[in-house]
Amino acid sequence: MRSEIGAAVLWVLGSFVLGAVIAPWLYQVGKALGDATLAGDFPRWIESVGGSCRRAGFGRYFNRALMLSALVLLPFLLRRLRFLRADGGTAAKRLWEKLPWKTALIQTLAGCLIATGVLCGFASLLESMGYFAPNKKSVILGRVLSQVLVPAVGVSLVEEWLFRGLLLGLWLRYARPLTACIGASLLFAVLHFVEPPLGWRVLDPTHWLAGFSLLGGVLAHFTCGIFILTEFVPMLAVGLALAWARLRSGALWLPIGLHIGWIIALKFFTMTHQFAAAKKPNELWLGVGDLRTGLLPLFALAVTVVFCHFAIKRPGASAERD
C-alpha cells in the first residue's frame, strides 16, 4: 500500500497471521517449561514463570504470540514508513516534549487521583442504587499489593509505552492527530479482546492450525452487536481518552497515571464488592455487572476527561499566552 496508514494496516494483519502461526508452538514450549519446573530444581523466578505457563490457557498464549509478532514485524513497518516519508511524506509537528521530573510526577499523580476518584464515585453511586454490595471477605494488605498495585503499575507502564508511546508516536509522524489517535486506539481495543466467545474451544492447541481456529473465534466475537456496544466501544473510548491525554499533556505521564488509577479502582472494587444478583442491570447500560462494560461507564470516562482538561495545561499554552 502507498500510504502510511495502509502500511500500518498491513502490519496489524501480518501480526495476526504470524501470531496465529506461532501460537501452537509457543503453547507447546510454555507447557513443556511448566512441566519441567514441577520438580522444583530451578530458581524461584523460573518456577514462577513455569507455574504461570501451566495455568495459562491457549488464549493467553495466542495473546502473547500476537504481541511478539507485532514486535518482530515492527522493523519492517518502520522501514516502510521511512521509505514513504522519503518518497514525499511529511512529518507531523512534534506534539510532545521532555518534561521536568516534578512535572512528570505531578501529571502521574493527578491522573491517578482523578481516575481513581471519579471511578470510585461512580461505583459508590451504583452501590447506593443497589447494583453492588460489599462482600464479607477481609482485605489483606499483601493481597492488595500483589493483585492490585503491582499489576496496575506494571500493566500501565507497558501498555502506555507500547500504545501511546511507540505506536501513537509513529502514527503522529505520518498522520493527522485525529487519525493517529483513532488508529492506535482501535488496535488497543482489538488486542484486549483476543479471546473467543464463551463456549468456543480449540480442540487441539498443539495443532498447527489451532491459532487460526482461535482467530476465527475472535472474529466471530465481533459479529455480536451487544459485545461491540457493551465491551468494544467502551474499550475504544478508553483508548481514545488515553490518546487525548497523551496529546493534552505532551507526555506519557498523564495517561500512565490515568491507567494506574483505573486499574486500582477496578481491581480493588472487584475485590471488596460483589454484584447484587437480586437487581439485574440492563445489559446495554451496565454490561455484565461490572464497572467497565456497558454504555453507562462512558459517563464516568467523560467526567474524567473533563477534569483532566481543566487540571492539565496543554504544552506551550503559557508560551502562547505570552
**Under a CB-based contact definition with an 8 Å cutoff, are residues 247 and 95 in contact?**
yes
pLDDT at 223: 80
Which of the four pLDDT bands, split at 50, 70 and 90, describes residue 236? very high
Which of the four pLDDT bands, split at 50, 70 and 90, describes residue 24? very high
**E-strand stretches of the chain:** 132-134, 273-275
Which of the four pLDDT bands, split at 50, 70 and 90, describes residue 110? very high
Lowest mean pLDDT across 114-118, 146-150, 206-210: 146-150
Q: In sequence order, what are the residues at sequence separation of 6 or more whose Cβ sits closer than 8 angstroms to the Cβ of residue 314?
A: 248, 249, 250
pLDDT at 85: 62
If one compares 301 and 220, the residue with the highest pLDDT of the two is 301
pLDDT at 319: 41
CA 226/CA 74 separation, integer angstroms: 33
pLDDT average, residue stretch 59-70 = 84
Torsions phi, psi of 133, nearest 5? -140, 145
Of 211, 256, 236, residue with least CA distance to 106: 256
pLDDT at 93: 44
CA 175/CA 172 separation, integer angstroms: 5
Other residues' Cβ atoms within 10 Å of the Cβ of residue 213: 20
Quote the cell numbers at residue 106: 505531578
For the chain, helix (H) and strand (E) counts, in that order, are 15, 2
pLDDT average, residue stretch 249-264 = 94
CA 50/CA 37 separation, integer angstroms: 6
* Top-confidence range, 104-113, 119-128, 142-151: 104-113
CA 130 to each of CA 122, 244, 275, 289, 307: distance values in angstroms, whole numbers, following the listed order: 13, 33, 9, 12, 27
Other residues' Cβ atoms within 10 Å of the Cβ of residue 14: 16
Mean pLDDT of the chain: 81
Quote the cell numbers at residue 243: 490518546
pLDDT digits (tens, 9 = 90+) for 74-98: 788 777 767 766 655 444 444 445 7
Quote the cell numbers at residue 258: 490515568
pLDDT average, residue stretch 173-181 = 80
C-alpha count within 13 angstroms, C-beta hemisphere, residue 123 = 24
pLDDT at 279: 58
* Top-confidence range, 75-79, 117-121, 214-218: 117-121
**Under a CB-based contact definition with an 8 Å cutoff, are residues 211 and 68 in contact?**
no
pLDDT at 107: 93
Instruction: For the full predicted model, state whether its pTM sits above 0.85.
Output: no
CA 280/CA 270 separation, integer angstroms: 17
If one compares 174 and 270, the residue with the highest pLDDT of the two is 270
Cα pseudo-dihedral 89, 95, 97, 102, rounded to 10: -160
Cα pseudo-dihedral 194, 189, 219, 231, rounded to 10: 100
Lowest mean pLDDT across 88-92, 130-134, 185-189, 269-273: 88-92
pLDDT average, residue stretch 230-236 = 90
Assess whether pLDDT exceeds 50 at residue 29: yes
If one compares 295 and 171, the residue with the highest pLDDT of the two is 295
If one compares 122 and 129, the residue with the highest pLDDT of the two is 122
If one compares 158 and 285, the residue with the highest pLDDT of the two is 158
Assess whether pLDDT exceeds 80 at residue 36: yes
Burial class (CB in 10 A: 0-12, 13-18, 19+), 318: exposed
- Report the greatest alpha carbon distance in the chain: 68
Of 19, 12, 32, residue with least CA distance to 61: 19
Which of the four pLDDT bands, split at 50, 70 and 90, describes residue 5? low
DSSP 240-272: HHHHHHHHHHSSSHHHHHHHHHHHHHHHHHHHH
- Output Rg (C-alpha) for the chain, integer angstroms: 21
